[in-house]
Structure 1
Amino acid sequence: MTVAVGVILPTSTPDPRHPILGDVRASARFAEEVGLESVWSTDHLIASAAMLDSTVTLATAAAVTDRILIGYNVLLLALRPTAWAAKQISSLQYVSGNRLMLGVGTGNPAHGDIGWRAAGLSFEDRGRRTDEALRVLPSLVAGEPTTLPDGLEVTLTPGSAMPPVLVAGNSNRARRRAAAYGDGWITLQTEPDQIVGEIAELRELTAPHGRPTPAVTVVAPSLSADFGQAAEQVAQYGRAGVERLIFAPTGPDWQRDYEFAAKLAATQ
């Protein structure tokens, strides 16, 4: 199986001591020029390190590119009023020419609950709110009359094509959510030998819903710095049934990382 390769835009960092805040316009253009499949933006109101707003970031990337896919990795739906999130998603899908990939998650506990408290929301309630949002999001984005969880009926216009939904999380609960609502499942740093069993589990979870098994995306895979070894690892992911790998910048030199990712993509 050919593995698509995407990259995270330089808008955040896993290491609070070394923020990675680069030029979104330049990085998105470069990713498209070297032939990568997609660019992605992280999302948190308050994180353990500096982080740009995801929707603004993706709108900027869309404005300076023509072909490359743009994606949330991942949007925290439960941090936002569902109708407002749907309006942003629909607008971004429209202005990008239907290039949006909607990654959705419930938030990494490593960042704590301060962002949720700042938004006046319950951190513990985020799973339920995410499920409620996913149930009504397709009709809201499409501009169809939709009844919200509180009983209010609304119609958002103009509507757009609903982007593919990729549900993120390494837990069983996340896989169940992906089975119920997702076109794809996003997992973090999972190894190829482990992913085989998890895809089988995902297939079993999806069957009762009468839906296709969600395609699998692995974020931040642990690859060798040696190109030959890294290319073989990418091939292993393909043999395991992974559709896409997303690489994160390792430091301020995102251009070097993007070039490495593009060379790996070219080996497919």
Structure 2
Amino acid sequence: MDVGVTLPGHGADLVAHAQHAEGLGLESLWHGDHLIPVNPFLDATLVHATVAAVTTRIKLGFGVLVPALRGPAWAAKQIATLQHLSGDRVLLGVGSGGEAHGEAAWHAVGVPFAERGARTDAALEVLPRLVRGEPVELHGEPVALRPGATMPPVLVGGGTAAALRRAARFGDHWYPAFVPRRSVASGVRRLAELAAAHGRPAPGVTVGVSVALGDVPASVVDGRVRGMTDYGLPEDVAREVVVTGSVAQAAERFAALADAGADRIVAMPFTEDRFRQVELVAEATVAM
């Protein structure tokens, strides 16, 4: 199983964090994307451009990019540019910009909030050709972006039925976060059925998990659980899916997700000692 970690959202030395994770042998680095998110973070495309310049191997994941906020042409230009800058290391997580973030960003760019799902599907229809530099008709006019680039793997974010349908139709991976093992297993089964209906192989599965390993005060875990409920997660589920405890316990949790069908885990440390947390995640990866 591949294991990656999220970068700090802002206010940290991203170069040091990126090089630290790469030095530990982790597979990928991830950063969120939204114009006006619940919790503030830097622009993912600029973060990954910076990280690409100071690393050589580690992959660069969007967790997740919202193409409907950018429009497909600009999204494709940024994705292609990152592929050139990184040497084809991009993992393109894509989502529709869930309800938890509200409507402010959509008003800011003049896109109706209610159209975000349909616009995400429309973007996914044309992104591969746009990124590759192939001609695409947009708004009645042919467009060909240059230089073209390799289209990265698409990971469709979200744990809803709509996200599963989108992953089956467009995705190389399904990318839910904060979901119990049983939901991963049932999602894998449903994903295979939906993909078969489209004549496609079943996508892989990447799962995002909140992580706080070692001696972590209960108050810190409680704070993280409260934050997860802000995203609409029931408190009992939030407590169930947070990965805490020892390296061995984390390795068991990761292995259980692998048994349920996950191919990759994206660990999301939420304590102040992020460097140490990433080291513990790397140890758990080896211990699986």
- TM-score under structure 2 length normalisation: 0.87
Give 2:128's aligned residue: 138
Count of aligned pairs: 257
Q: Pick from 64, 67, 74: which aligns with 2:57?
A: 67
Q: How does 1:214-225 map to 2 (within 5 A)?
A: 214-221=203-210, 222-225=242-245
- 1:188 maps to a residue whose letter is A
Q: Pick from 185, 199, 203: which aligns with 1:196?
A: 185
Give 2:81's aligned residue: 91
Does 2:160 correspond to 1:171?
yes
More deviation, 190-199/85-94: 190-199
Q: Which has the higher contact order (CA 8 A, sep 6+)?
A: 1
- 2:92 maps to a residue whose letter is L
Classify 1:156/1:263 alpha carbon distance in 2 versus 1 (closer, same or farther; 3 Å): same
- Report the alpha carbon displacement of residue 168 of structure 1 after superposing the two structures with TM: 0.5
Q: Is the 8 A contact 2:67 2:75 kept in 1?
A: yes
Give 2:36's aligned residue: 46
Does 2:198 correspond to 1:209?
yes
Q: Is the 8 A contact 1:22 1:252 kept in 2?
A: no
CA distance in 2, matches of 1:224, 1:85: 36
Does 2:169 correspond to 1:187?
no
Q: Deviations over 1:234-261 (max 9, x none)?
A: 1111111101111112133210111111
- Report the alpha carbon displacement of residue 81 of structure 1 after superposing the two structures with TM: 2.0
Q: Is the 8 A contact 2:248 2:284 kept in 1?
A: no
CA distance in 2, matches of 1:48, 1:239: 32
Long gaps (5+) in structure 1: 13-20
Q: Deviations over 1:12-41 (max 9, x none)?
A: 6xxxxxxxx311111111000011100011
- Report the alpha carbon displacement of residue 188 of structure 1 after superposing the two structures with TM: 1.1
CA distance in 2, matches of 1:214, 1:166: 9
Does 2:147 correspond to 1:127?
no
Identity among equivalent pairs (%): 47
Give 1:17's aligned residue: none
Any idea what SS the aligned residue of 2:92 has?
strand
Give 2:264's aligned residue: 244
Structure 1 vs Structure 2 CA RMSD: 1.1
Give 1:16's aligned residue: none
CA distance in 1, matches of 2:38, 2:176: 21
Long gaps (5+) in structure 2: 211-241
- 1:33 maps to a residue whose letter is G
- Report the alpha carbon displacement of residue 177 of structure 1 after superposing the two structures with TM: 0.4
Q: Structure 1 segments of 4 or more deviating over 4 A?
A: none
Q: Deviations over 1:51-104 (max 9, x none)?
A: 100100011111110000001100001001211110000010111000000000
- 1:8 maps to a residue whose letter is T
- 1:247 maps to a residue whose letter is A
CA distance in 2, matches of 1:259, 1:62: 21
CA distance in 2, matches of 1:121, 1:145: 25
Any idea what SS the aligned residue of 1:262 has?
helix
- Report the alpha carbon displacement of residue 152 of structure 1 after superposing the two structures with TM: 1.5
CA distance in 2, matches of 1:246, 1:49: 18
- Report the alpha carbon displacement of residue 266 of structure 1 after superposing the two structures with TM: 1.1
CA distance in 1, matches of 2:187, 2:72: 30
